[in-house]
Structure 1
Amino acid sequence: MSGFDSFEVGPAILFCPADRPDRYAKAAAAADAVILDLEDAVAPADKAAARGHVVASSLDPEGTIVRVNPVGGETAEEHRLDLAALDGGRYRTLMVAKVEDPVQLDHLHAAAYRVIALCETAAGVERAFEIARHPAVVALMWGAEDLVASMAGKSSRFAGGPRAGQYREVARYARSRVLIAANAAGKVAVDTVFMDIGDLDGLRDETEDAVASGFAATACIHPSQAETIRQAHAPSAEEVEWAEAVLNEAASQPGVFRFRGRMVDEPILRQARRIVG
C-alpha cells in the first residue's frame, strides 16, 4: 500500500472542516477526494463534536481522507482522541499534520492506516526523505505557512514588487525537497493549497508548474478551485497526440531515435506512457 501502483489520489483534493457535516457531500462531489479536517479547521471546543460527525458520515472511504492532529507535543491528547474515534471505522487514510520524525508514524502502521504525511515544519522538511520511506506513508504533502511559522518567519510569499505573489526561496526549497523525497521513495507527491480563492489564473499557473515538476495531486480549500486543478493536471490534446505518436514511432525504432527534431530515449518514453495512461 505504499507505491504509485497501490495508491492514487486526486488530482483535486479538497479540505472540508470536520465540524461542518453539512458540507461533506458537497465537498466530495466537487473534488476527486475530500479531506475531513480535524486539525486547524476546527476550534478546540468543537473537536469532540467534529469527531462524532466524521464517524457518523458515510462518504466513500476510497475518496475520503481524515486529517488528524499532530502526534506529539501539546496536541498529543487530541491525536489520541482522533484515533480512538476512528478506530475500527470506515476511513483508513489519514493525513497527519506536522510530521517531524518517521517514528511518529509507527503506531499508525501497526493499526494498518495509510498515511499522507504533512511535512510543514522545518524539522519535517529536513527529514522528508526518512518520512517518505516509512511503510505507512503513501504520500507526502508540504505546507508553506506552517513551515514559515515554525521558523518565526512572516510570510511564504512576496507581498509586492516584481515577485509579488511568488514563493520565497525557503518555500520553494521545501516544495522541491518534499517533491523529490516522495518520488525517490515511490510515493505520491501532493502540492499545497493556493490561498487566494479568487485568483484562478494564479492557481492555474501554480498547478501547471506543479504538474510539470512531478506533483501527482494538488490540495485546495474551496470547491471553485477543483475544476481549475483538474484541467491543469489533465494532459492537453497536443500532449496526447505527441505521446501517442512518439510511442507508435518507438515501436519500430530500437534504442535512441530522433522524433520531430528531438532525441528520444527511455525517460522521454516514460513521460509519454504517463500521458496516455
Structure 2
Amino acid sequence: MTNAPAGVWLITPGHTPARFTRAHTAGADVALVDLEDSVPVAAKPEARTSARGFFTQPDTPASCTLGIRINAPTTREAVKDLAALADYPVPPAIVLIPKTETPRDLEVVAAALESPGHRPLLYGLIETPQAIQNLPEIVRSSHLSGLLFGTADYARSIGSSRAWEPMLYARSALVTHAAAAGIPVIDSPYFDLDDQDGLRTESLRVRDLGFRGKSCVHPRQVASVAAVFRPTPAQIARARAIVAAAEDAAGGIVRIGHQMIGPPMVQEARDLLDRTPTHVITADGAP
C-alpha cells in the first residue's frame, strides 16, 4: 500500500476563510479547501483568492495534510483554478480532481502543477458511471495517488438514491481497483449532519468493505469517522504482537492466545502498522 494520506478527510468551502482555522484543527488527517460544489459560481473568483490563505495558516498541526479540490478539469473554471494554484506561495500537498473519468484528466492537472520542486498528490474523485467503467485505466496512471468516491453525483447520474444497496457495486469496484493498484480509496461524505448513528454505521460498512477513510463536510463529523478508521491502542498492540510472533517463528502459522495466525493475517497486521501515522502508534504509550 502507498503511504498517500487516508483516514479522515474534511472539506471546507474556499469562500469562507473564517472556517479555515477550524478545518485545520478539527482533528482530520486531511483538510481540503474546496473550489467546486460548495462554492457558488459567483463566489469562485473570491474562493480562488481566499484559498491561498488556507495553506499559510499558522499553527496547522503537522498531522494534518492540506489540499484543495479544484473544479472538473473539462471546465473553464478548472483552467482558472490551475492558473491560480501555480501562483500560490505555498502549494497544496493534495489536489482532488472532480469528475475524473480518464487518465487524461490526471495528466492535464499534473502538467499544470508539477514542477521540479513540487509534485502534488493527485486524487481522482470518482462520481460517474463512465469513471467506474474506466477504473482499470485510471488506476494505472502514474500520476494517481488515490481515489475518492462521490455518492451524490453518482446517484444522480444513475437515477438512484444514495442508500447502501444502490451504491454497493460502485464502492466494491473502487475498492477492488484501488487495492490492485496499491492506492487508498476514501469514501463519500455522509450528508445528514445530525445523524451521528447513521454516519457511524456507514463508516463501519465502508471500512469493512476496504475503504481506507471517509470524507466529512463538517467538523462535528470528524470524531465519529476517526473512531472508526483510526486503530485503537489495543488494535495496535495486537498487530505488533502478531508481527513479533511471526518474526520469531520465521514465518508459517503462529498461535496467539486461542487464535491461529497465518501469513495473510500477519500481512494484515503489518499493513495496519504501515498505514498508521507515527503519532497514532506512539499514543498508546508503547515503546
Residues 8-23 of structure 1 correspond to what in structure 2 (within 5 A)? 8-9=5-6, 11-23=7-19
2:151 is the counterpart of 1:155 = no
Residues 120-135 of structure 1 correspond to what in structure 2 (within 5 A)? 120-135=127-142
Using the size of structure 1 for normalisation, the TM-score is 0.86
Residues 185-204 of structure 1 correspond to what in structure 2 (within 5 A)? 185-204=181-200
Map of 1:180 onto structure 2: 176
The answer to whether the Cα contact below 8 Å between 1:108 and 1:136 also exists between their aligned partners in 2 is: no
Supply the distance in 1 between the matched residues of 2:204 and 2:68 (Cα, whole angstroms): 26
Residues 221-240 of structure 1 correspond to what in structure 2 (within 5 A)? 221-240=217-236
Which of 35, 50, 56 in structure 1 is aligned with 2:47? 50
Using the size of structure 2 for normalisation, the TM-score is 0.83
Map of 1:100 onto structure 2: 101
Which of 265, 268, 273 in structure 1 is aligned with 2:265? 268
CA RMSD of aligned residues (A): 2.1
5+ residue gaps, structure 2: 115-119, 275-287
Supply the distance in 2 between the matched residues of 1:269 and 1:276 (Cα, whole angstroms): 11
SS in 2 for 1:98: coil
Map of 2:277 onto structure 1: none
Supply the distance in 2 between the matched residues of 1:182 and 1:276 (Cα, whole angstroms): 19
5+ residue gaps, structure 1: 158-166
SS in 2 for 1:134: coil
Supply the distance in 2 between the matched residues of 1:36 and 1:100 (Cα, whole angstroms): 22
2:73 is the counterpart of 1:66 = no
Map of 1:4 onto structure 2: 2
Residues 74-93 of structure 1 correspond to what in structure 2 (within 5 A)? 76-89=75-88, 90-92=90-92, 93=94
Which of 246, 251, 262 in structure 1 is aligned with 2:242? 246
SS in 2 for 1:195: coil
Aligned length: 259
Q: Name the % identity.
A: 28
| Displacement of 1:23 | 0.5
Supply the distance in 2 between the matched residues of 1:190 and 1:154 (Cα, whole angstroms): 21
Supply the distance in 2 between the matched residues of 1:237 and 1:212 (Cα, whole angstroms): 19
SS in 1 for 2:123: strand
| Displacement of 1:107 | 2.0
Q: Cα–Cα, structure 1 residues 252 and 64, in superposed 2: closer, same or farther, change >3 Å? A: closer
Map of 2:126 onto structure 1: 119
